[in-house]
Copies of this chain bind each other. A is one copy, B any other.
């Protein structure tokens, strides 16, 4: 499944870029930039492996993810004035990463025989927990809790994969591709059309 691995690395690089850019905006020093790139890219999968009891987590079994994240963060740190050409495609790479992370997370949960809710949660967590840790370390309310149909796309993709796996005879590889594509398409459509989830109207101010 080397296509999945390639997409996984692409997503890792995109997430590392978003993390290190956030650190630069918060005026962190070099270590902070490396750290935020690292946790944004690898935090979700690490948390998933912790919850599944699959320790040490994947990043310690294949250190490629760690080196790639730090390399991207270093490039962003030293060249971020010259990276304007990357700002336009970054959301697309990010969307591909999102789809890939969801199907890897939910796919791994299926191997561990989790139920529907747990399997979908593992997919969503793999894709979004890194960004949440990034925002926590920046002392901000996580973006995913406030804006856009980011998590919903992950929910839809994870659910589709669970259903295809348990209730159809579609080959696993096709189920992965279909579910990842659903995430990517929903995510890009959300950006394009500025979709947003409803918010509760506030009733009181405390």
Contacts and interface: CB of A to CB of B under 8 A. Distances in A.
Contact of A139 (B24, B53, B139): B139
Given A137-B136, A146-B29, A199-B27, A55 B51 contact: yes
Interface string A191-206: 0000011111111001
A88 interface: no
Interface of A: 23-33, 35-36, 46, 50-53, 55-57, 59-60, 63, 66-67, 77, 80-81, 112, 114-118, 121, 132, 136-142, 144-147, 150-152, 196-203, 206
A32 B145 contact: yes
A56 B53 contact: yes
Contact of A146 (B32, B136, B197): B32
Best-surrounded residue of A117, A121, A139 (most CB of chain B within 10 A): A117
A77 B200 contact: yes
Given A29-B197, A30-B199, A52-B55, 18 more contacts: A24-B202, A27-B199, A28-B145, A28-B146, A29-B147, A29-B196, A31-B144, A31-B150, A31-B151, A35-B145, A46-B51, A60-B114, A60-B115, A63-B118, A66-B118, A80-B203, A136-B136, A139-B140
